[in-house]
């Protein structure tokens, strides 16, 4: 993700001393700068680890979504089949009810015709 940063502490201390700082002052400044660099490097490493973990999680979620879509298609097909079967059963029942009703009407008509004759 990023290049490793390095501070040449010995050279930095020498330059600060040449600029007029005492050795302890120069060492504190260089030590502090090195800590900042190290902290940023650690943060970048942590970000890289988080990014890798998120990418893995995203890949897993994409797989799960694909599986769910497959399940939905199976359920959709099963539902269509069940609806078709129910439609067929209802058609048969309606046909039987109509046949029974027509038979009853014919029987009633014959009874009324015989009673009026």
DSSP label of 5? P
With contact defined as beta carbons under 8 Å apart, do 30 and 13 qualify? yes
CA–CA distance from 12 to each of 24, 37, 41, 59 (Å)?
Answer: 13, 14, 19, 46
pLDDT digits (tens, 9 = 90+) for 82-114: 999 999 999 999 999 999 999 999 999 999 888
Using the predicted structure, report yes or no on whether residue 2 has a pLDDT greater than 50.
no
CA separation for the pair 42, 104 (Å, rounded): 90
pTM strictly above 0.75? no
- The alpha carbon of residue 50 and the mean position of all alpha carbons in its chain are separated, in whole angstroms, by 18
């Amino acid at each position: 993700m990023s290049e490793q940063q390095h501070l040449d502490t010995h050279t930095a201390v020498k330059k600060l001393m040449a600029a007029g700082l005492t050795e302890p002052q120069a060492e504190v400044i260089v030590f502090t700068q090195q800590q900042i660099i190290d902290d940023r490097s650690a943060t970048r490493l942590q970000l890289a680890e988080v990014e890798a973990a998120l990418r893995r999680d995203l890949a897993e979620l994409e797989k799960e979504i694909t599986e769910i879509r497959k399940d939905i298609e199976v359920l959709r097909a099963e539902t269509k089949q069940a609806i078709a079967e129910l439609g067929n059963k209802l058609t048969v029942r309606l046909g039987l009810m109509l046949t029974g009703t027509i038979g009853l009407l014919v029987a009633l008509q014959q009874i009324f015709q015989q009673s009026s004759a």
